[in-house]
Structure 1
Amino acid sequence: MLFQAGSLLLVIISVYLLKRIHIFSDKSYKVVQGLVFNLTLPCAIIMSFATNKHPMNLLWLVVFGLFACLIPLFVVYFGSRGDEPRYRAYQMLNASGLNIGAFCLPVVQTFMGPSAGLPVIMLDIGNAIIATAASLTITRSLLHLGSPTKNLPLSLKIKNIAHDFYSSISFDCYMLMLVIMFAGWSVPHWIVTLITPFANANAFAAMAMIGLMMEIPDSHKDRSELGKVIAWRFLFSIIIALSAWFLLPLDERVREIMVLAAFAPVTIFSTKFTDSLTGNAKLAGFSLTVTAVIGLTFMTILHAVLPVV
């Protein structure tokens, strides 16, 4: 197991070092990001649904994921009063939400096998409802941050928010798999065969993307704000993990998966939204990298401990 976790961390470090010697540029992460969100992650989602049974009681995880992402957003809003609005936005966006598809999914499947992917994906359906668009809208509204759409009619605002959801291929895949689940259909075998190479590449591509985004901020204020986000996330991770272990009406294996997921890092969407609201892409990318390393460490330890609890 240590070698499995080490191999994922090695990908992050190796790709970062390649960037440092200029094999990759500072913008190379955008290419890999496009591959992950539009190709490898959607294929991994479909693969998990197609190759595993999906009992209806897993719908509890959708509700759990929704509240696990939404509640921290408001807690940080009230807890960060007194700070500058742009740093409050950074804290709200980066202390809430779980990086499930691009991080937790490949890590958990590496640790526990392909069958562990379905509970992770069900959790991410609820998490993604907030993380893919709603968190930006809520943060911008609560902090009264300027927006080029603030003078638009309500119907156009709703249309723009809806576009954030349906323009995400990963989110579309989640919704499609839910429809298939409720309808009792199955994904054709030939589709599974075609997407298998892409699904298998998701773990490597996701870790490589994190390595490419890594860049150490040089501002003391940025490092201080990063410390706040790490503290917020650790608090929420503990609460989410304990809630999953003791409250979810599911078997021990699924609850262990949820405990591991509670320590997932900052979401890719959070880094994107932080950049758009504050212009601080370096801090956003480094936040993802640091929380990914911390998350991988805790997930490895918890996976070793939980089965013997």
Structure 2
Amino acid sequence: MIFQAGSLLLVIIGAYALKHLHVFGDRDYKVAQGLVFNLTLPCAIILSFATNKHDMKMLWIVLFGFFACAIPLFIVYFGSRGDERNYRAFQMLNASGLNLGAFCLPVVQTFMGASAGLPIIMLDIGNATVATAGSLTITRTLLGMDDSFRSLPMILRLRNIARDFLSSISFDIYMLMLVFMFLHITIPQPIVTLITPFANANAFCTMAMIGLMMEVPDNRKDKVELAKVIAWRAVFGVVIAVAAWTLLPFDERIREIIVLGSFAPITIFSTKFTDSLTGNAKLAGFSLTVTAVLSLIVMTVLHALLPVA
């Protein structure tokens, strides 16, 4: 297990090193980002649905994921009062939301096999309803940012929000798989065979993307704000994990998977929204990398310690 976690961490370090050896450029992470969000992650989602049984009781995990993402967003809004508006936006966007599909899914499947993917995907369906667009809308509205958005008529605001959701291929795939689950539609075996190589590449591409995004900020205030985000996420992670272990009506294996997901890092969408609202791309990328490494360590330790057969 240590070697499995180490191999994932090694991909992050390797991609970061290659960037500093000028094999890759500063913006080349967008190539890996495109591969993950438009190819490997959607295929991994479909494969997990295609190869696992769908108990309707797992819809409780969807609801749990929604609250696990939404509640911290509002707590940080009230808890960050007194800070500069840009840094409040950074804290709200990065202290809430779980990087489940792009990060936790490959990690948990590496630890526990392909069948472990379905609970993470169900958790991410709820999480994604906020993280993929809702967090941006809530943050800029509560903090009074983005005057152009506020000046739009309500119908155009709703249209822009809907476009934010629907333009995410991963979110669209989640919704499609949820429909398949309700209608008891199975994915044909030839499709499963075709997408398997892409799904298997998801872990490598995700870790490479994180390594390529990493860059250490030189601003002391940025580092202080990152420390606040790490502290927020640690508290929320513990609360979400305890709630998952004690409240969810599932066996210990599924509850362990949700506990591991509770300590997932900052979402890719959060880094994108941070860049668009504050213009601080360096802090956004570094924050994702730091929390990804910390999450990998915590998830490895928890997987070793939790009393699951």
Q: Within 5 A, what are the aligned runs for 1:260-271?
A: 260-271=260-271
1:181 maps onto 2:169 in alignment: no
1:35 maps onto 2:35 in alignment: yes
**Counterpart residue identity of residue 153, structure 2:** P
Q: Alpha carbon RMSD of aligned pairs, Å?
A: 0.8
Q: In 2, Cα distance between the equivalents of 1:296 and 1:7?
A: 11
Per-residue CA distance 1:83-121 (angstroms, 9 max, x = gap): 000000000000000000110000000000000000000
**Contact kept in structure 1, 2:16 and 2:212, CA below 8 Å:** yes
Q: In 1, Cα distance between the equivalents of 2:82 and 2:115?
A: 46
**In the alignment, what sits opposite 2:157?**
157
Structure 1 position 176, deviation (Å): 0.4
Per-residue CA distance 1:67-98 (angstroms, 9 max, x = gap): 00000000000000000000000000000000
1:122 maps onto 2:113 in alignment: no
Partner SS for 1:39 = helix
**Counterpart residue identity of residue 54, structure 1:** H
Q: In 2, Cα distance between the equivalents of 1:289 and 1:148?
A: 31
Q: In 2, Cα distance between the equivalents of 1:145 and 1:159?
A: 18
Structure 1 position 152, deviation (Å): 1.3
1:46 maps onto 2:46 in alignment: yes
Q: Count the aligned residue pairs.
A: 309
Q: In 2, Cα distance between the equivalents of 1:221 and 1:172?
A: 37
Runs of at least 4 residues off by over 6 Å:
none
* More displaced stretch, 271-280 vs 140-149: 140-149
**Contact kept in structure 1, 2:271 and 2:281, CA below 8 Å:** yes
**Counterpart residue identity of residue 55, structure 2:** P
Structure 1 position 308, deviation (Å): 5.5
**Contact kept in structure 1, 2:43 and 2:195, CA below 8 Å:** yes
Q: In 1, Cα distance between the equivalents of 2:194 and 2:42?
A: 13
Structure 1 position 307, deviation (Å): 2.7
Q: Normalising by structure 2, what TM-score? A: 0.99
1:78 maps onto 2:83 in alignment: no
**In the alignment, what sits opposite 2:90?**
90
Partner SS for 1:148 = helix
Q: In 1, Cα distance between the equivalents of 2:143 and 2:308?
A: 45
Q: In 2, Cα distance between the equivalents of 1:231 and 1:152?
A: 36
Partner SS for 2:150 = coil
Q: Within 5 A, what are the aligned runs for 1:183-222?
A: 183-222=183-222
Q: Within 5 A, what are the aligned runs for 1:214-293?
A: 214-293=214-293
Partner SS for 2:61 = helix
Structure 1 position 218, deviation (Å): 0.2
Q: List gaps (5 residues or longer) in structure 2.
A: none
Partner SS for 1:149 = helix
Q: In 2, Cα distance between the equivalents of 1:146 and 1:59?
A: 35
Structure 1 position 150, deviation (Å): 2.0
**Counterpart residue identity of residue 87, structure 2:** Y
1:68 maps onto 2:32 in alignment: no
Structure 1 position 147, deviation (Å): 3.6
Per-residue CA distance 1:162-192 (angstroms, 9 max, x = gap): 0011111000000000010000110011100
Per-residue CA distance 1:33-70 (angstroms, 9 max, x = gap): 01100000000000000011010011011000000000
Partner SS for 1:245 = helix
Structure 1 position 146, deviation (Å): 2.4
**Contact kept in structure 1, 2:274 and 2:284, CA below 8 Å:** yes
Q: In 1, Cα distance between the equivalents of 2:176 and 2:201?
A: 22
**Contact kept in structure 1, 2:109 and 2:115, CA below 8 Å:** yes
Q: In 2, Cα distance between the equivalents of 1:216 and 1:98?
A: 22
**Contact kept in structure 1, 2:217 and 2:286, CA below 8 Å:** yes
Fraction of identical pairs, as percent? 73
Q: In 2, Cα distance between the equivalents of 1:159 and 1:180?
A: 26
**Contact kept in structure 1, 2:256 and 2:308, CA below 8 Å:** no
**In the alignment, what sits opposite 2:167?**
167
Q: Within 5 A, what are the aligned runs for 1:7-22?
A: 7-22=7-22
**In the alignment, what sits opposite 1:298?**
298
Partner SS for 2:148 = coil
**Counterpart residue identity of residue 126, structure 1:** G
Q: In 2, Cα distance between the equivalents of 1:168 and 1:285?
A: 20
Per-residue CA distance 1:187-219 (angstroms, 9 max, x = gap): 011100110110000000000000000000000
Q: List gaps (5 residues or longer) in structure 1.
A: none
Q: In 2, Cα distance between the equivalents of 1:120 and 1:54?
A: 13
Partner SS for 2:149 = coil
